[in-house]
Structures are given as structure tokens and as C-alpha cells.
Structure 1
Amino acid sequence: MQKKSYSDRRFLFVYLNTGNGHIAQARVLKEAIAEYAPEVHVELQSGFTQKQHIGHRILETTYGIACNYLHGAWPIIYGLGEYPFFQKMVRFHMKVQTISHFKKLLREHNITDVVSFHFALSPSMKDAIRSVNKKINLTVIVTDPFTGPEAWFYNRKLDYIVSSEDFRRFGIQAGVREKDIRVMPFLLNKKYRAPVSKDEMLSLRQQYGFPQDKRLVLLAGGGEGLPGTLKIINQCIIHKADFSIAVVCGRNKALQKSLKLLAKANSRLDLHVFGFVDFMDSLIKMSDLVVSKAGASTVMEIVSLRKPVIINTYIHGQELGNMRFVVQNGAGFFIRHSADIFRKINQIFSSEKSYQACLSRAQGLSIDTDVSKIVKYLLEK
């Protein structure tokens, strides 16, 4: 039977730079479409032009500062975002330039399908599609898997894809019609979709210079590194940890420098320090345990690779569901304080029986990673 051709389909994916999760999921979907139907053209575009200074400041710069540096400010911002008045005010300031930008993209690229990866862009995109007077499919992919702001569902009459039944119920409670919201797999890079064997773990450790006869703990927390890393490492030094440690600092140069000095001054500690890496999948695969923030993509990557995880912080509201998903399903723990984190690691590694019990719980949780389900749905619209 000859496969159907989709050469007449041209997709536009729109996102914002509020964390890496939105564009990361857009890229995963673009790659999946290219594998399934290479004749389909997919255009990735930021929802803001360089001239949209208010949008950049409100939804990108402010978000980054609040999440990474002013943690106490985030609950206030998140709370304001739940009010329709605040949502309307933000949309009002964005509307004129954003709609104009979208109309230009729709016409220039002869778009037939749009996928929005950010709640702030979806209403303006709907208006732009109506303005160009063309039949264009619009789908919203909710990038928060379990909990997130009600602003995702600001416009109740759009086609929504969510990653959990919990968020589907939340959307329906917010006013979305049941027929307009469906649960599909989380958009996960294929590097994280298949767990590795023991032999593959050991091979990776040899490749990256880690001992094969020690347990390995990975500390990773996104672009700014994991909050509390120095305190955790100091606990490891005080208690003479006998396991290996890998730390990913991202763009946090000060953290990277401090850790390298600690590693040099404490040669007994098997500490490996990295900045930005393009082999995070390998680091997770070769680890016995991961300590991380509760970011959506990070949590789903760790869980998909069946690794036990300790979460030490989460963003108010938005990442609460990610933490609960891990803890309630037995795949890991939520522990805030560095001394308690070290004690939990020691407890898990205290014996082979203890570790295998922890690993068994993590391996008992499986998630659907078949991204082709979303591709097929979009192409059949």
C-alpha cells in the first residue's frame, strides 16, 4: 500500500524563550515529522520580533530572573497570571505587533498548519489566522505535563494537546470542551526514550573517564546549575563520600570555578565538573542516581531512562505536578536541605539491596514516549 503524501502541508511552530522546554519540544516534534513525512516543511519561529521590547521584558527576561534568581517573586508573578484581567493586559500590550508578525509569517511561508508552544501566543495566532482569511489548522501543545497556569486555556475554543489526564481535567474545568483537549505523549528527545543496559552504562563511564567500580551521582539543574550544589558538595567533603559525583553547571561560571577549586583541594573526592554539555543523555544514562530541579523536560528525561531522582526544588505552581509525579509514583524523593539529600544518597547506596529496591521503583514507572502519535494526529487534521 502506497504511503500518503503530505507535500502540500506547511507547518509553523511558534514558541517563546521562557526556559528551554518550549523550543526543545518544538524541535522534537519537527524532527519526528521529518522522520515520518520528510516532504512536510516545518518553520520554527519565535513569537516575538526584536522590536517587541515589552513582550521580551515581561514574558522572557522577567521570567528568567524570577525563576533563577528571585525565587520569592515567582509566586507573585504566577498568581497574577491566573487573573483574567492580568492575562488581558499582557495580551493588549502584545497584540498589535504580534498579530502583524504572525500574519507576515503565515503569508510568506504559505502556512497550512500552526502549532503554538506557548500560552501567550495562542490568542494572537488565532486572530492572525482569522485576519488572513485562510483555512489554517491551529493546535496548542501544552508543554507543562501535570500542572501549569490557567493562562494555557485563555481561549477556550482551541485544539489542545496535553501530556496527562490531570492536566486534561484541569483544562476542562477551565472551560475547554472535552472534544477539544486530548492526552498524548510528552515530546521527548529520542535520546531519552530507551533505558540503557548495565554494559552500556559501564561503556559510557569508560568513555567519559568515570570509575566503573563506584556509584555515580549526577547533579544537574538546567542553564544556571542546580541550586544548593555547593552545600551538597560540602556535605560530601565533610562526610568523605565514597561515590563519584558529576555536576553540570550550565552557564553558571562562578559555580563551575568554585567546584573546580574544591575538587583540586579535595583530591580524595571523585568530583567531575562540567559547564554546558551536549551529552546530558549520556550523563543520565551512566548515573546511578540524579539530583535535579523539577523542570518538565528534565524530570521526564530522567524518568524515561528509569533512574531514581531526588528533586530539591521546584517552581511554584508550574512544576509542582512534576515533583508530585515523581514522588507519588515511587520514582524518587523531594528533599530540600543539602544535609538531608546527602543522608538519603548514603541510605540508598548503603547496600546493594537498598539500591536495587530504589532502582526497582524507578524502573516500575513507564511513560508513553511514542511521539509519532502526535505527528499522525496533526497530519490527519
Structure 2
Amino acid sequence: MKQRIGFLYLKTGGGHVSGANALIARLKETYPDNAEYIPQNGFKNTNLVSQIFFEKGYAATSNYFEPGYVAFYQLTKYSKILNLCTGLLRPFIVKNIVSFIKTERITKLVCLHEILIPLARIAIDRVQPDIPLISLVMDPFTAHPLWFYTKNTELIVFSHKLKKEAIERYGFEPERVHQFPLMLSQRFNRRYTAEEKIAAKQRHGIPLNKKIVLMVGGGEGLKSTLALVNAFIFQRCPAHLVVICGKNKILKTQLELLLKTTQISNIQVFGFVSTMPDFINAADCVITKSGPATIMEILSAGKPLILASYVRGQELGNKLFVTNNQLGWYIPQPRKIIKKVKEILSDASLFAATKQKIDAMHIKNGLDDIARFVYHFHTEN
């Protein structure tokens, strides 16, 4: 019987969507004949208020009003609040997941967002309790308790820390917790050669004879981008700065106006790009935020990084992974960030030592292992 594997995600941060897309793409490449792979936004056709609150609210609070996001994150750690949230969402979402399972004849369901796990379990139990539910904990080091709220699921985690917490703190059966390396786009499976770096620079008009600093912060760009660019200009950094604004058109317009006014020639501004491996591999160091996928993509390419921000609670473990292992720096002040950039690029011994520590981590893409697990789980048992 041909498998029909469903994937539930939400548009709360790019990591969930890109993770789903990367996994589906790899499954299609590896197992094209005996399965169908069907993605579904968990809020599709659901209550508009819920959709705006979680999807738009996440982007707004995490980028522009972090205390609000942190307060919600901390409050929802309590079981009573979790039960309340689940109860409020249940009437709107469960029926949609039930419809999705029935309409698409789903034989296996993969969930990539913690809010959806208990609701997916309810939906599966209504349709066919034997349908396997696999939950991917997308936060590798610091995970919200809601990821572990539902026990009747196979749990995929990306670190020994979370595997231990799932078993010892949250009471998961050890055989239901599966640890793999963090999954990344397949395009980060290997580093560019010297020739490929030159070709990438030429494709994007990046100078071949300068040190390259990349500034990137996901779909909305780094929230401190304007201050960082001003610090870069004020401190006369001799490197060439590439700024990725993502889908933030206002930020891109502001930066283009600034460059036109100041006539600065060693800064390039891009909007949304689909060739991030080009930019990361072309860079000598990267300024970014503490999203797990972004960090691992940069480290897999062997690049020193500076974390300009992190979302308290959710991204604390990501920041500590970088700083405790001396793979980069957490520096929230723009002027100090540019000072560190100049130090990294001018001090060959510092650059080499940091790169050596990154290489020693042996960052591996878990995409193939996870795809194999998802495809074969329950089909060989």
C-alpha cells in the first residue's frame, strides 16, 4: 500500500516552514515511488483570530516587542495555561486536521509545531488511532514543555540534552525518543570549494579582493540592522558588508536610501534571496540572530559568527551552544559587534582558532537520517 504522509506546520518563524520543505524535498528525492508527501498549514481554513495571533503575532512580538513574546512563552509553560490554550484552539483546528486526514487519506502524520501536537493526536484518535504521529522538536537545546505534553507520539529531538529531558523530566518512554542531528537544507551538506566561492561572489556582484561580512536575520532581517550598518560606516570597517533584509521591504528601502545619501560603496543590500548557501559560503564571518537553523547552516559552512540577539527562553540554548563551545560571540551592542568583526578579520590567529573549534564540532546534517526514519517507521514493524 502506498504511503500518504502528511506534514503539519505553522508559519511562526521561518524554521518550521523551511524544515518541512527540506524534509519533504529529501523524501521525494529518496523515496519518489511508494509514497505521497502532503504539507498542510495547521491553521488553514481555521479561525482568523487564532491565525493572526499565532502567526502574525509571533513575527511582531519576537522582532519588535520581545517582552510580550517572552511573557506568553513563560506563561504557557504552566499546565493550566496549556490546557486553556489547547481548549481554545481545539474547536477550530481539530476539525480541520480531521478533514485533512480523511480527505488526503493520510497514513502517517508528521508534526513540526508544538501547538499542533496535542490537537493532531485528538484528530488522529477520531479518525484512526493506529495512524502514527511523529513530532519533530524544532528547538534543539531549549524546548517549550508543550513539545512534550502529548506522550502518544514518536518524538524526534536534535540533542542529547532534550532526549534526556524528554525521558527523565517529562516521562517519555525511552524507545519513543529518537535523537538525530538538526536537519538542514541539503544545500548545506558540504562546503564550497575555492572555485565555487569565487563563482558565488561573481553571481551576486560581491568583490573578490575584500573580506566579506554577511548580516542576515531570517525573514524579517535583524532587528538591529540599521544600527549595525551605521556602526559599520562610523567605524570605517574596511571589509565589504552584505546585508540580507529578507521580506522586510521597509528595511531594504531605508538602507538603500542611506547608502544613496552617504555614497558608501562597500555595502550591498539584498531583499529576499533563495541562494543563502552562496552568501554564507562567500562570507568570512556572519552577524546573525540565534535561530537554530541559521546557526547550524553558518557553522556547517565553517564560518565564525556573532549573535546580535536571541529570544529569551526559546533561543537561550542556541546562544549557549555557540558561546560555550567558543564557536562565536554573543554581542548585543552594534558598535561592539563591528569592533569584534574588525578583530576577527585582522587577527589571523583568532580566525584560525575559531574555525578550528567549528571544524572540531563535526556539524552533520540530520536530514537523510530523519527522512529515512519518517519513511520507514511503522512500515517495517
Of the three residues 220, 223, 227, the one matched with 1:224 is 220
Counting only pairs closer than 5 Å after superposition, residues 277-288 of structure 1 correspond to structure 2 as 277-288=273-284
1:113 and 2:112 are equivalent in the alignment = no
Confirm or deny that 1:324 pairs with 2:328.
Answer: no
Query: Aligned-pair distance for 1:103?
Result: 1.5
Q: CA deviation at 1:250?
A: 1.7
State yes or no: 1:142 paired with 2:137.
yes
Amino acid at match of 2:332: R
| % identical equivalent positions | 30
1:300 match: secondary structure: helix
| 2:213 counterpart of 1:237 | no
Structure 1 window deviating more from structure 2 (247-256 vs 49-58): it is: 49-58
The 5-angstrom pairing of residues 346-361 of structure 1 reads 346-361=342-357
TM-score normalised by structure 2 residue count: 0.94
SS in 1 for 2:109: strand
Distance, in Å, in 1 between the alignment partners of 2:38 and 2:85 is 26
Does the residue aligned with 1:122 lie in a helix, a strand or coil? helix
Q: Structure 2 CA distance, aligned partners of 1:320 and 1:144?
A: 10
Aligned to 1:4: none
Change (3 A) 1:198 1:356: farther
Q: 2:156 matched to 1:161?
A: yes
Count of residues paired in the alignment:
375
Partner of 1:31: 25
Matched, 1:260 2:256: yes
User: Are the counterparts in 2 of residues 331 and 365 from structure 1 also a CA contact under 8 Å?
Assistant: no
Unaligned runs of 5+ in 2: none
Residue 306 of structure 2 corresponds to: 310
Among candidates 337, 350, 356, match of residue 333 of structure 2: 337
Give 1:85's aligned residue.
Answer: 80
- Please tell me whether the aligned partners of residues 139 and 161 of structure 1 are also in contact (alpha carbons under 8 angstroms): yes
SS at match of 2:215: strand
Consecutive unaligned residues of structure 1, counting only runs of 5 or more, are: 1-6
Give how far 1:195 is off: 1.2
- Cα deviation for residue 330 of structure 1 reads 2.0
Question: Alpha-carbon deviation of 1:316?
Answer: 1.1
Work out whether residues 304 and 351 of structure 2, in 8 Å CA contact, stay in contact via their aligned partners in 1.
no
Which of 146, 151, 156 is the matching residue for 1:151? 146
Check conservation: 2:188, 2:300, Cα contact below 8 A.
Answer: yes
State the Cα distance separating 1:366 from its structure 2 match: 1.8
The counterpart of 2:377, out of the listed 367, 374, 380, is: 380
Aligned to 1:100: 95
Which has the larger displacement, 150-159 or 217-226?
150-159
The one-letter amino acid of 1:164's match is S
The answer on whether the counterparts of 1:240 and 1:269 sit within 8 Å (CA) in structure 2 is: no
Change (3 A) 1:202 1:49: closer
Q: Quote the residue 2:6 is aligned against.
A: 12
Runs of 4+ in 1 over 6 A off after TM superposition: none
Contact 1:294 1:311 in 2 (8 A): yes
**Cα gap change, 1:248 to 1:157, in 2 (>3 Å):** same
1:175 aligns with 2:171: yes
- 1:70 paired with 2:65, answer yes
Q: Secondary structure at the match of 1:224?
A: coil
Conserved? CA contact 2:185–2:367, under 8 Å: no
- DSSP 3-state at the match of 1:251: coil
Q: Separation in 2 of the partners of 1:345 and 1:282?
A: 20
8 Å contact kept, 1:10–1:113: yes
TM-score (norm 1): 0.94
Q: Deviations over 1:160-208 (max 9, x none)?
A: 0011111112222122222211101222101112112233222211221
Task: Tell me: CA distance 1:253–1:370, structure 2 relative to 1, closer, same or farther (3 Å).
Answer: closer
Helix, strand or coil at the partner of 1:148: coil
Instruction: Specify whether residues 279 and 270 from structure 1 end up closer, same or farther in structure 2 by C-alpha distance, changes over 3 A only.
Output: same
Q: SS of the counterpart of 1:136? A: coil
